[in-house]
Structure 1
Amino acid sequence: MNDKVFAKPIKKQFEFDEEVAAVFDDMLERSVPFYKESQKITEFFALKNLNENGRVYDLGCSTASTLLNIHRKLSTNAELIGLDNSEAMLQRARQKCEAYGADIEVCNADILEYDYKEADVFISNYTLQFIRPLVREELVKKIAAALQKEGAFIFSEKVISHHPKLNKELIECYYDFKKEQGYSEYEIMQKREALENVLVPYSEEENIKMALNAGFSHCEVLLRWANFATFIALK
């Protein structure tokens, strides 16, 4: 189903409700530059760091697309767990997992409060940016504590530049991309207003510093296009 969520006047802040869940896969592919490439690189490094009988958590798993792609390529026994606090998203995730016969556990959970078991890999695609900055690093510390030694945390985020001119141009570049995907100027502005104070991005440097402060030994960018980046942090 095509994303037309912001083609009409919006009277509330952005939320992952049924209307968004119904078009979310299309929204991601048309709103996130090189989304498929980011997914592929996430899957590659997740599988590289996953041991026999290991465990993967996907935080903010939405419709479980990432875990389903990992499941298709599994060559070992592993436990795949997706967490999200949107029941609308999880309903679609369950339907997709059932349709593909995939043994994936998806749970309605608060990722800040969840009691994580030891894991090989954590994934977080465009989720940290929705966590309040005051508690964001605490979540990353919790992730680091739950990872096995040499475990990996792969996360994608919208990023900003602290250089005002460059940041403005990054946003302009991104809006040109969205127009090429068929979004109107009106839809772009509507979504920007709906996300105001809901999505709070960090810079590339701030994300790396946060990971290192949380206990990871190394963090770097795997893929970046303008103001979108995929990172890997190693314990």
Structure 2
Amino acid sequence: MSKARRPSEMPEQLPDRLFATERRPEDFRFDASVARVFPDMIRRSVPGYTTIIPMIEVITEQYAQPGSYCYDLGCSLGASTLAMRHGIPYEDCTLVGVDNSEAMIERCEHYIALDDNHLPVTLRCEDILATELSNASVTTLNFTLQFVDPQQRASLLARIADATRPGGVLILSEKIRFESDSEQAIQTRLHHEFKRANGYSDLEISQKRTAIEQVLIPETLAAHRARLLAAGFDEVLVWYQCFNFVSMLAIKANTSDTD
């Protein structure tokens, strides 16, 4: 159980009101203003997020291997990083969190420092496309790939697959789109109702959608599966879905199991 934390020790957290008033349209950025409200934003915007994070701990415990690296690519404030940290059962594992937003990394460092788990965490403020990867047993892309240029996704996944040990896993969580226009419309409507139920106004939903639609590029589940297999993973499965948000496992076969 985590130790008690005094309010003065915690980074400032604000409710997400970024799109509550009329604003000039501009692309969404992970800047300091987003970092301050990010815990509230993602909890109220992503169905199932509060389930996915603790399950990352469970999955990490099952797939982490001694003497390996575990990566959280696009770590933001470190929710996935901390889940992985608590799931890793080996003291000789190296946990690395990577994000290209200085504001996110700064706050992530604070949360890591407050956590009572002793496993060291290395945080890198850099582009995940340039991150050196090797000897990985668990890698997490938790709602990160969707912000990567679609033309660069295949090469990133290939590098992750190449760096993954036999028996290792990539945890990939994404917002997806659907093959059927009808299903796309239904799932989008349900997602918006989820946001309304969490207190977002129609103005907030509309303005956030306009800001993010050129930045977050979703793909179909079939496209994700085909690309992961082409990258070098041997099995791809969906372990969680809520509306148009899914989390997948891309697994490298354990060669000892096939001998």
Is the TM value for this pair above 0.5? yes
Moved more, 91-100 or 35-44: 35-44
CA distance in 2, matches of 1:127, 1:188: 21
TM-score, normalised relative to structure 2: 0.88
Match of 1:86 in 2: 101
Percent of aligned positions that are identical: 34
Which SS does the other structure have where 1:83 is aligned?
strand
2:75 equivalent to 1:61: yes
Contact in 2 for aligned 1:58/1:83 (Cα 8 Å): yes
Match of 1:171 in 2: 188
Which SS does the other structure have where 1:72 is aligned?
helix
Match of 2:64 in 1: 50
Structure 2 runs not aligned, ≥5 long: 1-13, 253-259
Match of 1:136 in 2: 153
Which SS does the other structure have where 2:237 is aligned?
strand
Deviation, structure 1 residue 75: 2.9
Contact in 2 for aligned 1:46/1:154 (Cα 8 Å): no
Question: Residue deviations 1:56-79, cap 9 Å, x none?
Answer: 100000011111123234432121
Change (3 A) 1:185 1:207: same
The runs of at least 4 consecutive aligned structure 1 residues that moved more than 4 Å come to: none
Within a 5 Å distance, the mapping from 1:8-47 to structure 2 comes to 8=21, 9-47=23-61
Question: Residue deviations 1:66-125, cap 9 Å, x none?
Answer: 111232344321211100000000000001111225521111111112221211111000
CA distance in 1, matches of 2:24, 2:230: 38
CA distance in 1, matches of 2:159, 2:237: 19
Moved more, 52-61 or 13-22: 52-61
Which SS does the other structure have where 2:184 is aligned?
helix
Moved more, 4-13 or 137-146: 4-13
Moved more, 1-10 or 30-39: 1-10
Match of 2:17 in 1: 4
Structure 1 runs not aligned, ≥5 long: none
Contact in 2 for aligned 1:54/1:120 (Cα 8 Å): yes
Specify the code of the residue in structure 2 equivalent to 1:208.
R
2:87 equivalent to 1:70: no
Deviation, structure 1 residue 10: 4.2
The alignment's C-alpha RMSD in Å is 1.2
